[in-house]
């Protein structure tokens, strides 16, 4: 667990969770440069930044903040998150371990409220592409060639398998992983077939992706899309490919 140093000068300002993480993670890296997970809430409700001291009392009992937020605040939250990530990388550099550290940036779901997922449809709480397609950026100078773009399909759970593989550690047989290692791709290999499945109670959503094809169920409605040809999921191919719906 991350120990918060209350005398950290950065926390003399509004101690939002983003600011706490930004202030303390570099110190944690300096103490121990092994595995660290940094889980930002930015950009996310409540829509506040380190400049919003006047909103603290209001938001303590109203975290969903449905009446607040705007594009400007959203942009500042992303900017502050970016600053924090930069501080972590600087801390790794100062420890002399940046070149041999795997750093992964990703998200758990698509954006909501003030985000723009264009050209994808949907966002958080949807299994359309706008809700499940997120960035994944990996840096590991000794292993990953800079400037690459990969078409590899993957899910967040694959990072667990990847990190274990990178460390040369086997998963506990009592707790088998659902993910698969991405190390072959990170090391310059070709993308491999990776079927993916989702299930969500909200609106009884189900989805499966295999190659370019995606099955989607929302409520009692079923769809089939060729994502390569129709990234916005507008052209339902279910009736044209009954074999794929079987």
How do residues 148-203 score in pLDDT, each as one tens digit? 999 999 999 999 999 999 999 999 999 999 999 999 999 999 999 999 999 999 99
pLDDT in tens, 95-116: 899 999 999 999 999 998 999 9
| Residues facing 106 on adjacent strands | 136
User: Over 80: is that where the pLDDT of 33 sits?
Assistant: no
Q: What is the DSSP letter of 12?
A: G
Name beta bridge partners: 217: 206, 222
- For 226-239, the pLDDT digits (tens) are 999 999 999 999 99
Instruction: Report the alpha-carbon distance of residue 243 to residue 238 in Å, rounded.
Output: 9
| pLDDT at residue 13, as a whole number | 47
Number of other residues whose CB lies within 10 A of the CB of residue 177: 13
The C-alpha angle with vertex 180 and arms to 226 and 103, in degrees rounded to 5, equals 100
Please state the pTM of the whole predicted model.
0.84
- Residue with the two structure tokens 């940046």: 98
């Amino acid at each position: 667990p991350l120990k918060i140093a209350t005398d950290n000068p950065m926390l003399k300002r509004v101690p939002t969770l983003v600011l706490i993480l930004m202030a303390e993670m570099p110190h944690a890296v300096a103490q121990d440069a092994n595995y660290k997970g940094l889980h930002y809430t930015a950009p996310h409700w409540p829509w506040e930044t380190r400049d919003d001291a006047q909103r603290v009392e209001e938001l303590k009992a109203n975290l969903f903040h449905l009446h607040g937020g705007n594009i400007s605040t959203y942009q500042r939250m992303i900017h502050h998150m970016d600053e924090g990530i930069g501080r972590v990388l600087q801390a790794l550099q100062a420890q002399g371990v940046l070149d041999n550290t795997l750093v992964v940036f990703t998200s758990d779901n698509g954006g909501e409220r003030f985000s723009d997922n264009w050209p994808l449809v949907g966002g958080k709480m949807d299994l359309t592409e706008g809700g499940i397609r997120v960035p994944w950026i990996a840096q590991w100078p000794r292993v990953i060639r800079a400037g690459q773009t990969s078409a590899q399909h993957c899910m967040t759970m694959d990072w667990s398998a990847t990190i274990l593989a990178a460390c040369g550690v086997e998963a506990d047989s009592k707790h088998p992983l659902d993910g698969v290692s991405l190390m072959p791709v990170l090391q310059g290999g070709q993308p491999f077939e990776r079927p993916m499945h989702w299930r969500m109670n909200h609106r009884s959503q189900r989805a499966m992706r295999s190659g370019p094809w995606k099955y989607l169920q929302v409520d009692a409605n079923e769809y089939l899309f060729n994502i390569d040809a129709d990234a916005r999921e507008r052209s339902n191919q279910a009736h044209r490919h009954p074999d794929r719906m079987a």
